[in-house]
Structure 1
Amino acid sequence: MMEESVENSADVPIIDVSLLHQNPVSKSTLVKKIHEACRTYGFFHVINHGVGESVIEEALDVNRKFFEQPQEIKGGAFLDDVNKVVRFGKVQVGGYSRDLLKLYAHPLHQFLSSWPTLPVLYRERMGLYATELKLCIELFGAIMESLHLSETHLTQNFEQGIQILGINSYPPCSRSNITTGIPPHSDHSLITVLLQSGPGLQVIDCGGSWKNVPRLKGSFQVLIGDHLEVLSNGLYKSVLHRAIPSCSDTRLSIANLHSLGMDEIVEPAGRAGE
């Protein structure tokens, strides 16, 4: 795995989702912590999120097997055709390339039949993974509450909005030629919930320095997207991040990007930032 030094690691807030279901005092305390994490960092870990370990491991395993298949089985490169609900291809960054698979995932029944059929159980395991991430709805409600809005503000719009799975496979990069697997960017989403097979995510801190995000086993990373920055009236900043491949192992990541519907306009909320 990529080596990380403690002094170069980001200070990542840890949000215990289970506290949202306990007493009002615990929930209120956690909502304030979410507010500080979104305002100060633009990202945080979530633990005790309710997604089973087997669901997580099987999602990583079935995608690892997908990318290991011959090119003729995986299909053609459709990355430039945004109308495709399934897109696969190689992305070149300088002299380094990674494989990328993008799947539209909501409503699942509308898109599942278009997903890859190989390896066996791909649709079953990734379909389960996509539906298990209902924690995103809980997180969105808590984020709305942290903005002094009703926790149901835009919840129905969020539930009926867009969910896209962006799955990346990063082959090992030689230690003498460590390069960026994904160049710096922010996500065009409300929130992105990220799963990683190993470390590699880096974020830029308030001082303009790149910091490694330590991997916390069993956790997800939640990143604030561009749409939430708009919705929060600029109080919550979308986080600039990038990915660095491992020097020894293939690294996988599964990003769940959640937004409102394609035809909806994201506007600053009335009380956001007060």
Structure 2
Amino acid sequence: MEEISVENSGDFPIIDVSLLQQNPVSKSMVVKKIDEACRRYGCFHVINHGVDDSVIEEALNVNRKFFELPPEIKEELFSDDVNKVVRFRKEEVGGYSRDFLKLYAHPLHQFLSSWPTLPLLYRKKMGLYATEVRKLSIQLFGAIMETLHLSETHLKQNFEQGIQILGINSFSPCSRSNITPGLSPHSDHSLITVLLQSGPGLEVIECGGSWKNVPRLKGSFQVLVGDHLEVLSNGLYKSVLHRAIPSCSDARLSIASFHSLGMDEIVEPSGELENEGRYRGSSLRDFLNHLASGDTRPFIETLRITQMES
């Protein structure tokens, strides 16, 4: 894997996942670094994560080929139903277009037969990618539980049996005179999101309200705090507000892997993390119902019982 320097990280923490498997001192340092990243940014890079470079490149390549398929093939998967386990969407905004494909990915055997059959080997390559990223997410979730001074096995079984959804975006190049966000500012519904970018474009909002670019580091993933982790941590970690900016030179591809508990499993603040803030418990199904309702409020705002201090 290509060596990544801190200078190229855009000041965002770089987490060496392999150190979680080494001696207690190294692991403790990494856990502390994850804690600081979740508090300060709600986002961090991960390297030495165990997902082979070839798996990453094949996932990007096979999705490029999918989005290059004739419209009539992709549109067979078109749906406005947010509950569909596979759905394709196309949007035209300003001077660019966005194609979006959603795939439920865990349990894989339950959903794989619904995935696209074209291009050839799509299911095989994306199935391997989903499986490997899920292994990484389980490791990261255990470390995050430790940052909250909970056991690394806290909710481990629930997380392992939970839902994984892949959100794949293809952004056309935009005009330099019309650089419009490819995705409006939003936070993710998940506990954590593991993001792969083909090129730069991810931006997160800082405490002062300004947007900060999160560079794409070759061979790395970006990990984002989601709404349900904000709830679980009782506001100690805030779900990160982010957006995507299309490239003015090349099409940009991103693969977001959203990791949640079971569809109807309620996420609520851990009893060990109680403080003045309170959140209403909710499930992934609650989020989907919120999305389908047309309510324009961010989902996390519907969960806060008392206003949390920023």
TM tier, smaller: over 0.9
Q: 1:135 to 1:273 in 2, by over 3 A?
A: farther
Kept in 1, the 8 Å contact 2:95–2:175? The answer is no
State the 1:95 CA deviation.
5.2
Q: Tell me the secondary structure at the aligned position of residue 106 of structure 2.
A: coil
Q: 1:156 to 1:244 in 2, by over 3 A?
A: same
After superposition, residues 205-216 of structure 1 pair within 5 angstroms as 205-216=206-217
Distance in 2 separating the partners of 1:91 and 1:194 = 21
Residue 251 of structure 2 aligns with which residue?
A: 250
**TM-score normalised by length of structure 1:** 0.94
Q: Tell me the secondary structure at the aligned position of residue 91 of structure 1.
A: strand
Kept in 2, the 8 Å contact 1:173–1:245? The answer is yes
In the TM superposition, what whole-angstrom CA distance separates every residue of 1:3-23 from its partner, at most 9, and x where no partner exists?
A: xxxxxx952111000000000
Distance in 2 separating the partners of 1:164 and 1:92 = 24
Kept in 1, the 8 Å contact 2:229–2:237? The answer is yes
In the TM superposition, what whole-angstrom CA distance separates every residue of 1:62-117 from its partner, at most 9, and x where no partner exists?
A: 00000001011113363421231100010344554300000000000000000000
After superposition, residues 155-194 of structure 1 pair within 5 angstroms as 155-194=156-195
Q: 1:247 to 1:94 in 2, by over 3 A?
A: closer
Kept in 1, the 8 Å contact 2:96–2:173? The answer is no
Point out the more displaced range, 80-89 or 108-117: 80-89
Point out the more displaced range, 97-106 or 79-88: 79-88
Q: Does 1:37 align with 2:37?
A: yes
Residue 218 of structure 1 aligns with which residue?
A: 219
Q: Tell me the secondary structure at the aligned position of residue 175 of structure 1.
A: coil
Q: Which amino acid aligns with 2:269?
A: P
State the 1:123 CA deviation.
0.3
Residue 51 of structure 2 aligns with which residue?
A: 51
Q: Tell me the secondary structure at the aligned position of residue 256 of structure 2.
A: strand
Distance in 2 separating the partners of 1:163 and 1:243 = 21
State the 1:130 CA deviation.
0.3
Q: Which amino acid aligns with 1:199?
A: P
Distance in 1 separating the partners of 2:273 and 2:245 = 34
Q: 1:91 to 1:77 in 2, by over 3 A?
A: farther
Kept in 2, the 8 Å contact 1:204–1:239? The answer is yes
Q: Which amino acid aligns with 2:147?
A: S
**Structure 1 consecutive aligned stretches of length 4 or more whose deviation exceeds 6 Å:** none
Kept in 2, the 8 Å contact 1:77–1:90? The answer is no
Q: Which amino acid aligns with 2:171?
A: Y
Kept in 2, the 8 Å contact 1:147–1:273? The answer is no
Kept in 1, the 8 Å contact 2:204–2:243? The answer is yes
Residue 203 of structure 2 aligns with which residue?
A: 202
Q: Which amino acid aligns with 1:255?
A: A
State the 1:177 CA deviation.
1.0
Distance in 1 separating the partners of 2:268 and 2:186 = 21
Kept in 2, the 8 Å contact 1:235–1:273? The answer is no
Q: Which amino acid aligns with 2:268?
A: E
Distance in 2 separating the partners of 1:203 and 1:83 = 27
Kept in 2, the 8 Å contact 1:191–1:224? The answer is yes
State the 1:214 CA deviation.
1.4
Distance in 2 separating the partners of 1:257 and 1:111 = 15
Distance in 1 separating the partners of 2:253 and 2:273 = 35
Distance in 2 separating the partners of 1:104 and 1:65 = 20
Kept in 2, the 8 Å contact 1:194–1:255? The answer is yes
Point out the more displaced range, 12-21 or 95-104: 95-104
After superposition, residues 58-77 of structure 1 pair within 5 angstroms as 58-76=58-76
Distance in 2 separating the partners of 1:273 and 1:37 = 21
Q: Tell me the secondary structure at the aligned position of residue 214 of structure 1.
A: coil
Task: Calculate percent identity across the aligned residue pairs.
Answer: 83
Q: Which amino acid aligns with 1:159?
A: E
In the TM superposition, what whole-angstrom CA distance separates every residue of 1:176-208 from its partner, at most 9, and x where no partner exists?
A: 111110010000000000000000000001110
Q: Which amino acid aligns with 1:268?
A: P
Residue 265 of structure 1 aligns with which residue?
A: 266
Distance in 2 separating the partners of 1:31 and 1:273 = 21
Distance in 2 separating the partners of 1:75 and 1:116 = 11
Residue 78 of structure 1 aligns with which residue?
A: 78
Distance in 1 separating the partners of 2:48 and 2:274 = 28
- Which is bigger in relative contact order (C-alpha 8 A, separation at least 6)? 1
